[in-house]
Amino acid sequence: MTDKTVLIVYAHQSPKSFNCAAKDAAVKTLTDQGCKVLVSDLYAMKFRAVATADDVKGKLKNPEHFLYNEETGLACKEGRLSDDIKEEHRKVEQADLIIFQFPLYWFSVPAIMKGWIDRVMTQGFAYSLQNLYDNGMFKNKKAMLSFTTGGMESMYLPDGLNGDINVALWPLQNGVLRFCGFQVLAPQIFWSPAHTPADARVALLEAWKTRLQGLLNEKPLSFAPTELFELNFQAGFRLRADVKEEFASKPYGLTTAHHLGKPLPPNNQTKAE
> What confidence tier does 273 reach under pLDDT thresholds 50, 70, 90?
confident
Residue-wise pLDDT for 187-213, tens only, equals 999 999 999 999 999 999 999 999 999
Give residue 252's domain range.
222-272
- Region 257-264 average pLDDT: 94
Looking at the structure, do residues 216 and 240 belong to the same domain, yes or no? no
Q: Which percentage of the chain shows pLDDT scores above 70?
A: 99
Is residue 133 located within the same domain as residue 238? no
Is it the case that residue 1 has pLDDT exceeding 70? Answer: no
User: Residue 129 has what pLDDT?
Assistant: 86
Residue 142: per-residue pLDDT = 97
Q: Are residues 68 and 54 in the same domain?
A: yes
Please report how many Cα atoms fall inside a 13 Å half-sphere around the Cα of residue 140, on the Cβ side.
6
A 10 A CB-CB count for 142 gives 21
What CA–CA distance (Å, rounded) separates 139 from 13?
32
Q: Do 245 and 195 have their domain in common? A: no
Q: What is the largest CA-CA distance in the chain?
A: 58
Q: Are residues 207 and 231 part of one domain?
A: no
Count of domains for the chain: 2
Residue 223 phi/psi, 5° resolution? -130, 165
DSSP string of the chain, one letter each residue:
-TT-EEEEEE--S-TTSHHHHHHHHHHHHHHHTT-EEEEEEHHHHT------GGGB-S--S-TTS--HHHHHHHHHHHT-B-HHHHHHHHHHHH-SEEEEEEE-BTTB--HHHHHHHHHHS-BTTTBBTTB-GGG-TTTT-EEEEEEE-SS-GGGGSTTSTT--HHHHHHHHIIIIIGGGTPEEPPPEEE--GGGS-HHHHHHHHHHHHHHHTTGGGSPPPP---GGGB--STTTTT-B-HHHHHHHTTSSS-SSSS--TTSPPPTTTTTS--
**Same domain? 23 vs 44:** yes
Q: Do 159 and 187 share a domain, yes or no? A: yes
The predicted model scores a pTM of: 0.95
Distance between CA atoms of residues 207 and 217, nearest Å: 16
Average pLDDT along the chain:
95
Domain edge (last residue) among 198, 220, 242: 220
